[in-house]
Amino acid sequence: MSDIGGKWQAITDRHALIRFVDACLRGAGQVMFQNNPLSGLLILIAVFVGAAHAGTWYIGLGAVVGVIVGTAAALAFDADTASYRQGMFGFSPLLTGIAVLTFLPQTAWSWALLIVGAAVTTVVTLAFGNLLKTWGVPALTFPFVLTSWFLLLAAFQFHRIGTGALAAPALPEAVGGAAAHATIDAQNLSTSMLNGVSQVYLIGSWISGIIILVALAVNSRWAALFAVVGTVASTLIALAVGAEAAMIDQGLFGFSAVLTAIALGCVYYRPSAAVAGFALLGIVFTLIVQAALDTMLAPLGISSLTAPFVFATWIFLFPKRNFAPTPHHERLKDGVVDTGKNDY
Amino acid sequence: MSDIGGKWQAITDRHALIRFVDACLRGAGQVMFQNNPLSGLLILIAVFVGAAHAGTWYIGLGAVVGVIVGTAAALAFDADTASYRQGMFGFSPLLTGIAVLTFLPQTAWSWALLIVGAAVTTVVTLAFGNLLKTWGVPALTFPFVLTSWFLLLAAFQFHRIGTGALAAPALPEAVGGAAAHATIDAQNLSTSMLNGVSQVYLIGSWISGIIILVALAVNSRWAALFAVVGTVASTLIALAVGAEAAMIDQGLFGFSAVLTAIALGCVYYRPSAAVAGFALLGIVFTLIVQAALDTMLAPLGISSLTAPFVFATWIFLFPKRNFAPTPHHERLKDGVVDTGKNDY
Amino acid sequence: MSDIGGKWQAITDRHALIRFVDACLRGAGQVMFQNNPLSGLLILIAVFVGAAHAGTWYIGLGAVVGVIVGTAAALAFDADTASYRQGMFGFSPLLTGIAVLTFLPQTAWSWALLIVGAAVTTVVTLAFGNLLKTWGVPALTFPFVLTSWFLLLAAFQFHRIGTGALAAPALPEAVGGAAAHATIDAQNLSTSMLNGVSQVYLIGSWISGIIILVALAVNSRWAALFAVVGTVASTLIALAVGAEAAMIDQGLFGFSAVLTAIALGCVYYRPSAAVAGFALLGIVFTLIVQAALDTMLAPLGISSLTAPFVFATWIFLFPKRNFAPTPHHERLKDGVVDTGKNDY
């Protein structure tokens, strides 16, 4: 395996175009912290499978265009080479590409918006990388979230783009008893949990969820394990507190927790019993932040995207020097390097 | 007095449990910048008296559980010892405990939310301590505000928790003439002003207000004086500009100004005529920020909590190197140390 | 010319009052990055002409009072002398003065609010100057935006002030086809574009727009050129994507782009083909941010002011070390010094 890795490395060193393709594939994996082109390839397949199953295969194309434009923009802006090669400029634009086509009508106008949005996402990535460097904290998927919020909110004011599948703006209302889960069905629940994994890429498909778990395991078994922990824990807690059943079924309470679980459980801290405890508190907090953002964004008709993961993980990473026993700090630094996560 | 202080210090040095109780009591005082267990004890009594008077004595219990969980979480997270002993990890969780039981129905679910929320408040305290250290500016009660906003907004999405006493979300409307004060009644006005002091702890009781003023005077007469200046000035100005009478009566235009007055008047700057002028501008600005946040949060049904104090005081502390004549800068540093306010 | 400049400099060095007037005039110019008292004088004339034409000449007076109070506050707070003399403490308060009288009823109460607001704007300028110094990024007009948002939102809660010309809060709705431009009329379009220039000062008058372009050209032809590029590009794009015709006509889609174009095109980067490309992407993004903020602020009834310029320009300035080829970085530093833009 490491031999194959070495050969692939040598090939990418020689050919600029293959290097670019490699950077794009790694970008697909970096959404979930995996600096591995094979993981990225499997994830792109998962996205296409899920999108095609929902009759919107062009969303897969949007992901590919997003990652290509974002990565090319990094080249144009003369960004840091090491980060470029690790796919650090591809993962947020990839998600921007998916979000535009998921929430807005697919027209020539929305494709143009997607391309501009993907390029701007790379500028935002550079901006937040520089901003957060002060504290050694990563931007995570926030460049995607911020740019996509702007694009989706802007669609209201541009008649030729239109608001498409965005929810109608409404004042928040408390979830009623009828909308909360009455009974638990183990089979339904397991598809909900797998949907929770695929929703990281805005796809609600349990098959895609399984492919994504495989893509994680190819590069890091810890990552696959914590992804499962994240979606299982958050789905069960959402069920316990009486969250809306339809949202649980689609995995919408799972995806942010999946990312928090991986980030806190095995990327920025070294796995241990204590860290698992911290990560669990982080998962619970992610669920709270997500519910809060759902309430907050209701009057605007937009979704919270992966913001709950970003906000909760930032809050659990910022205190790093005090938060965990000493050995973890070193891991924090190592982790950043190991997984190819740098300042961005 | 200093002899008693010395003996108490020696006792807390020897016994970990008494040290913990001492840290919790100081936490109750640190909401108002008082690093003094006696002030904290008096304040807890004030909270219980006010809560019991309103038929919600369990809110006092929520305050105690909040400060205990938050302080214990700091121990578990191996946080800075000096800050721990000064009660710096207790004051925000104490307020989170009060807020959860004030705005949400009291059930087993909300108590569980309170405990999780108090622990998370300590993580947020560590995060913002680290973030704001860059500029030497304190986090004030923002960890309480941010965490409580998340908890209260999340309640909308969780049927088993419910929204309880939260206001119904509504688009903002301009205050009508009928709702504004027509006549001034000196007696009513003085209870309104005392309510303004107790509302720092979300309690509307003039008796609690008096006890809290005593608690301040025990440790710092300047603090007691500026608390009075804050509530008197902001109540009179709110009256003059025609704010809603019912809110003035409950002291809801006073509490943030009380905290701003203490912070700017005698904690972070050394008391003087010039500083009193600065503090007065800060009080006026706090009132403006509070009215603005009331408008802004109307569509979400949540209250501004102590955010007006935090935002206004941050804005008046951030320019510190330019803002005040040179001698005050030293005081700024001293003040932080003197009152036990450090980076958090 | 430089001889006249030298003599004027000598006169201001000698007389404190003329120095103050000079600082105020430069403040009027610094809204658009022009450190030149003649530009400032022409701009004040443009503001009075536009205000008088709309029957609200007192708005011009509000601008003058704003810049005087803000600049005097900087003296009172003992702020940095070099920045004071370059008008860096005048430009945001000037805009606050205009905004208060544009959106709120003109009464003794709103004049009092204007004076407090202008003084607070200077505190906010000092605060954000200190905050953003960490990254070497300027506060731009954000102190104006933040303070004015607080003042306008607060007006809802104060009966004696009232909400005046603020829009009625409403949930956002997608722009319908009827409201979007059907036909293009070259003459209408050119007045719309000139309105876009004058709207930087919240004035919708093509005559004012022309005077302001002259004011720019007096100090920097590049600035005048990029102002034209900004308003032409953003008006045409707004037209293409089907933005609301009435807003385009008033120049409301132009002013933020005008500021972004000047900032990115010739102030913080040295003019070149590559930089023009960057600036164009920045203009497009400014338009997107503006549309997004219009949607976001609809439930609150307030306008986005120059926030779209600030947010977009920050995002395009923050990555500076990676964003542009090396020579531009130096320009970035020079630009800041050359134009008198420093930390604030």
> CB pairs below 8 Å between A and B: how many?
123
Residues of B in contact with C158 (CB under 8 A): 175, 241-243, 291
Q: Do C78 and B177 touch (CB under 8 A)?
A: no
**DSSP label of B299:** G
Taking CA atoms, what residue in B is nearest to A292?
B154
Give partners of B (≥3 CB pairs < 8 A): A, C
Contacts with B11 (C-beta within 8 Å, 6 or more apart), sequence order: B18
Minimal Cα distance from C134: which residue of A? Answer: A134
* Closest chain B residue to the Cα of C112, Cα to Cα: B241
pLDDT per position as a tens digit, B165-207: 899 999 999 998 777 665 667 678 899 999 999 999 999 999 9
Please give the pLDDT value at position C181.
Answer: 62
**Count of A-C CB contacts under 8 Å:** 123
Question: Does the CB of C164 have a partner CB in chain B at under 8 Å?
Answer: no
Which residue out of A135, A158, A171, A293 would a mutagenesis test of the C interface target, given it has the greatest number of C Cβ atoms within 10 Å? A158
Interface probe, candidates B111, B144, B159, B166, chain A, greatest A C-beta count within 10 A: B159
State pLDDT tens for residues A113-130.
999 999 999 999 999 999
8 A C-beta contact, residue C79 and residue C126:
yes
Digit-coded pLDDT (tens) for C55-70:
999 999 999 999 999 9
Q: What is the dihedral of CA C182, C176, A108, C261, to 10 degrees?
A: 70
**Distance of alpha carbon C208 from the chain centroid:** 14
Q: Which of B181, B186, B201 is nearest to B258 (CA)?
A: B201
C240 contacts in A (CB within 8 Å)? Answer: 160
pLDDT of res. A178? 72
- The residue of C159, C161, C344 whose CB has the most chain B CBs within 10 angstroms, and thus the best one to mutate to test that interface, is C159
Distance in Å, alpha carbon of A344 to nearest chain B alpha carbon = 17
Q: What are the φ/ψ torsions at residue B244 (nearest 5 degrees)?
A: -65, 125
- B342 CB neighbours in chain A (<8 A) are none
Q: Give the confidence band of C273 by pLDDT, cuts at 50, 70, 90.
A: confident
Q: Which of C137, C314, C322 would you mutate first to test chain A, the one with the most A CBs within 10 A?
A: C322
CB C125 within 8 A of CB B263: no
Query: Is A172 near chain B, with CB under 8 Å?
Result: yes
Instruction: Give the C window 95-114 contacts with B, CB below 8 Å.
Output: 109
Could you tell me the pLDDT band of residue B279, with boundaries at 50, 70 and 90?
very high
Q: How far apart are CA B286 and CA B166, in angstroms?
A: 23
Chain A residue at shortest CA distance from B159: A242
Interchain proximity C172–A77, CB inside 8 Å: no
Contact B299 A299 (CB under 8 A): yes
Has residue B343 got a pLDDT over 80?
no
Of B120, B134, B155, the CB nearest to A285: B120
- The shortest CB-CB distance from B154 to any of A292, A299, A314 is to A292
Q: Is C131 within 8 Å of chain A by CB? A: no
- CB-nearest to C175 from A116, A126, A156 is A156
From residue A191, alpha-carbon distances to A25, A60, A154, A218, C241 in Å are 27, 21, 34, 22, 40
pLDDT score at B6: 85
Which residue has better confidence, C325 or B17? Answer: B17
CB contact under 8 A, C292 and A120: no
| CA distance linking residue C181 with residue C241, whole number of Å | 10
Quote the pTM value: 0.93
> Does residue C135 sit at the A interface (CB-CB below 8 Å)?
yes
**Residue in chain C nearest B176 by alpha carbon:** C159
| DSSP symbols for B33-71 | T---HHHHHHHHHHHHHHHHHTT-THHHHHHHHHHHHHH
Burial zone of C332 (CB within 10 Å; 0-12 exposed, 13-18 middle, 19+ buried):
buried
Residue C174 at interface with chain B, using a CB cutoff of 8 Å: no
Per CB-CB distance under 8 Å, the chain A contacts of B144 are none
Nearest by Cα to C104 from C62, C142, C68: C62
Question: Which residues, in sequence order, are CB contacts of B312 under 8 Å at separation 6+?
Answer: B256, B260, B282, B285, B286, B289
Closest by alpha carbon to A25, among A210, A219, A313? A219
**pLDDT tens digits, one per residue of B93-105:** 999 999 999 999 9
Residue A169 to chain C, least CA–CA distance (Å)? 6
The mean per-residue pLDDT over the stretch A143-155 comes to 98
The C-alpha angle C80, C84, C85, rounded to 5 degrees, equals 125
Q: How confident is the model at residue C124 (pLDDT cuts 50, 70, 90)?
A: very high
**What is the average pLDDT across A74-78?**
91
